[in-house]
Amino acid sequence: MFNLTTIIANIPALLVGFAFHEYAHAWVADRLGDPTPRSQGRLTLNPFVHLDIFGTLMAVLYSFGWAKPVMTQPHYFKGNKERGRVLVSVAGPLANLLVAFIAMMLWVLTLAFLEDSSWTGTLSTIFMSLVIMNLGLGVFNILPIPPLDGFSILRGVVPGRYSKVLDTLETYGMFILVIILFTNFLGVILQPAVSGLYAFYRDTALFLLSPFIG
């Protein structure tokens, strides 16, 4: 059963997560010499530029999803084109993981300094959503399933002799993704991964901030 409070808290977390995810893709592509993201207005942290309706709905309800893909033209990339593809693809999930860690650090500091303030519960809900949503987006998008970022990364590291296999997988990618979304497969993979990263981030934040929060 869906919790209305959690869904409401997920919305700003989702907007932040998608904005940084897509901006990271666009920024890396732009730095590599591709003018496409900039020309299409994607080099921005405005979340509404990046939203995909179905991916947004999935993210609000299930804490994982996707935004409108940033279009790139790898022939513009400086240096090795495949390396450029991988760098652009990995930038989005890494941005989400970084945002989640920063949110966890701020959450720990907030709890330490506000203690039992009347705002503590509300802020904790917001920070928890920011952490979990961004962890979910980061882990989900790194899965090697087309059209997710993980598949583009896979293409960049797998030897060329397997390209036909990857082409076939890409052809049926959306069909595979839809099946996976409506089974418990993602829960089996994502929940342990997100929970493990959440615990690691919490323990790391507490360790790093312990000298300052007493």
Q: Which residues are catalytic?
A: 22
25 contacts: CB under 8 Å, gap ≥ 6? 37, 42, 69, 70, 72, 88, 89, 91, 92
Q: Is 6 exposed, middle or buried (0-12, 13-18, 19+ CB in 10 A)?
A: middle
Is 24 exposed, middle or buried, given 0-12, 13-18 or 19+ CB atoms closer than 10 A? buried
Nearest to 138 by CA among 95, 102, 89, 87: 95
Residue 68, burial from CB neighbour count under 10 angstroms (0-12, 13-18, 19+): middle
Using CA atoms, how far apart are residues 173 and 61, in angstroms rounded to an integer? 22
Are 14 and 56 spatial neighbours (Cβ–Cβ below 8 Å)?
A: yes
Please return the burial class of 118, using the count of CB atoms within 10 Å of its CB with bins 0-12, 13-18 and 19+. Answer: exposed
Residues 57 and 108: their CA atoms lie apart, in Å, by 29
